[in-house]
């Protein structure tokens, strides 16, 4: 069966003589050696297909592969032809590139399935399984060798060695944890304040400005009852970390609608300011229903009553939205007269019942 002699390629002197106990030279067990393998006998569980099916399969698969060939060329052509940059161009390019890619992949996949199903024989080959566990002899041998290794290493006998080793690695193991300390500053009391408690450079209270445009708001201009505005502190319009705590919603109510939950001293002509940051997990409570004066957080549907100190009337939030004390300055613009009385946003471990503490001091929240 030998088609050509391996000795020709590997002259005698290069092949070492086999020493007893060593594996045979590689040429004798080449994976798909130079020898032509013996034709296998009919293998159990392998049933060839009907020749007509095979011929049909071959033609079908070839057709699929041809489609892939063409679609692949189409893909490259589309890349060159369709330019991106404007919306229509991007859409056309996406369609052309994606369409040809999909077609190419689909053709290849279909061709291969046809090949597997119509050309390959039908298989029902049986292979034996063996229990996963190694046999008793192997196990006891392993145990013996391990015991021997432990004995030789002296890890059990030499206490000083063992204990100093353990002591040595303990601080080293902590080192990576210590290294992570500078990931961030400590919380301290940062969560208890917002910039609304600060003053401008000339010592004036911060004005409320419209989110997005940055325009200050004249109380006289925000006079339609039922109106709603999203406002931010002046000078911080683009500081996202400030906005994450200090964003406020302004609601305009008729004075007679305001109930006892709202601190009326902190309102101006029916304008009430609440933190926009939901007390549940901090999404902006951005939806407002004019008829019911409900403020709704779109994330988890916590619902607050704007007329009654933004107390929770539905949903998972457990606390009202804190109210911001507001007034107008000499020019008639809305300003904050101080910070929120309590921390805004989601609850945290160190927060405590800030509302109760504030009430104890005589305030109204």
Partner 1 sequence: MSTETGNRPETAEIPKAVSGPSSYLDERIGAGNFIRRNMRKVFPDHWSFLLGEIALYSFIILLLTGTFLTLWFKPSMGHVIYDGPYAPLRGVMMSEAYASSLHISFEVRGGLLIRQIHHWAALLFVAGMMAHMLRVFFTGAYRKPRELNWIIGVLLLTLALAEGLTGYSLPDDLLSGAGLRITQGVAISLPLVGTYVSFFLFGGEYPGEDVISRFYTLHVLLIPGILVALVTAHMVLMWVQKHSQQPGKGRTNMNVVGGPFFPSFALKAGSYFLFTFAILAGLGTFAQINPIWLFGPYTPADISAGSQPDFYMGFLEGSLRIMPAWEINVLGYTLPMSVIIPALLPLGLVMTGLALYPFIEQWVTGDRSEHHVVDRPRNNPHRTSIGMSAITFYGLLWLLGANDELAANFHISLFAITRFGQIAIIVGPILAYIITYRMCLGLQRKDAEVIGHGVESGVIKRLPHGEFIEVHVPPAEDIEAHMRGKTPIPALPDGSDEKGIPPKGMRGPLGRLRGRMSRTYGGEKIPMDQPHGDDHGAHEEIGEHEEHAAVGATGEGRSLDR
Between residues 46 and 220, which has the closer beta carbon with respect to partner 1?
46
In the complex, minimum distance from the CB of residue 116 to partner 1, in angstroms, rounded to a whole number: 5
In the complex, minimum distance from the CB of residue 27 to partner 1, in angstroms, rounded to a whole number: 8
- The answer to whether 365 touches 263, Cβ cutoff 8 Å, is yes
In the complex, minimum distance from the CB of residue 263 to partner 1, in angstroms, rounded to a whole number: 21
State the Cα–Cα distance between residues 287 and 315, nearest whole angstrom: 14
- The answer to whether 67 touches 100, Cβ cutoff 8 Å, is no
* Placement of tokens 């050309």 in the chain: 119
State the Cα–Cα distance between residues 272 and 254, nearest whole angstrom: 10
- The answer to whether 195 touches 324, Cβ cutoff 8 Å, is no
Between residues 258 and 303, which has the closer beta carbon with respect to partner 1?
303
**Per-residue DSSP letter, 80:** H
In the structure encoding, which two tokens stand for residue 260, read together?
């006892």
Measure the N-to-C terminal CA separation of the chain; round to a whole number of Å.
Answer: 98
Between residues 227 and 282, which has the closer beta carbon with respect to partner 1?
282
Which of helix, strand or coil describes residue 334? strand
In the complex, minimum distance from the CB of residue 302 to partner 1, in angstroms, rounded to a whole number: 8
Between residues 270 and 288, which has the closer beta carbon with respect to partner 1?
288
In the structure encoding, which two tokens stand for residue 128, read together?
């034996």
Between residues 151 and 357, which has the closer beta carbon with respect to partner 1?
357
In the complex, minimum distance from the CB of residue 20 to partner 1, in angstroms, rounded to a whole number: 19
In the complex, minimum distance from the CB of residue 262 to partner 1, in angstroms, rounded to a whole number: 20
Nearest to 247 by CA among 239, 255, 258, 257: 239
Between residues 151 and 239, which has the closer beta carbon with respect to partner 1?
239
């Amino acid at each position: 069966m030998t088609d050509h002699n391996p000795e020709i390629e590997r002259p005698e002197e290069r092949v070492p003589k086999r020493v007893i106990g060593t594996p045979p030279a590689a040429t004798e067990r080449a994976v798909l050696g130079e020898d032509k393998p013996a034709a296998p006998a009919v293998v159990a569980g392998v049933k060839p297909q009907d020749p007509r099916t095979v011929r049909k399969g071959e033609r079908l698969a070839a057709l699929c592969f041809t489609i892939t060939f063409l679609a692949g060329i189409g893909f490259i052509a589309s890349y060159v032809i369709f330019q991106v940059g404007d919306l229509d161009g991007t859409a056309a390019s996406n369609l052309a590139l994606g369409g040809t890619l999909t077609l190419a992949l689909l053709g290849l996949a279909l061709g291969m399935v046809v090949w597997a199903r119509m050309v390959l024989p039908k298989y029902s080959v049986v292979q034996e399984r063996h229990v996963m566990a190694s046999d008793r002899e192997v196990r006891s041998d392993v145990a013996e060798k391990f015991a021997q290794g432990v004995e030789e290493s002296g890890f059990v006998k030499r206490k000083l060695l063992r204990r100093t080793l353990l002591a040595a690695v303990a601080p080293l193991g902590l080192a990576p944890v210590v290294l992570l300390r500078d990931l961030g500053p400590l919380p301290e009391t940062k969560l208890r304040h917002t910039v609304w408690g600060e003053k401008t450079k000339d010592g004036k209270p911060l004005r409320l400005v419209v989110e997005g445009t940055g325009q200050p708001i004249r109380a006289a201009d925000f006079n339609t009852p039922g109106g709603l505005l999203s406002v931010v502190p002046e000078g911080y319009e683009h500081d996202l970390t400030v906005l994450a705590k200090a964003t406020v919603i302004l609601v305009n109510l008729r004075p007679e609608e305001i109930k006892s939950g709202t601190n009326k001293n902190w309102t101006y002509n029916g304008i009430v300011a609440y933190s926009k940051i939901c007390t549940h997990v901090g999404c902006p409570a951005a939806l407002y229903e004019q008829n019911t004066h409900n403020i709704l957080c779109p994330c988890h549907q916590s619902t607050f009553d704007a007329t009654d100190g933004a107390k929770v009337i539905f949903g998972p939030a457990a606390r009202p939205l804190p109210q911001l004390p507001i007034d107008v300055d000499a020019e008639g613009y809305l300003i904050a007269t101080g910070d929120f009385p309590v921390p805004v946003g989601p609850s945290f471990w160190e927060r405590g019942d800030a509302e109760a503490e504030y009430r104890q001091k005589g305030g109204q929240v």
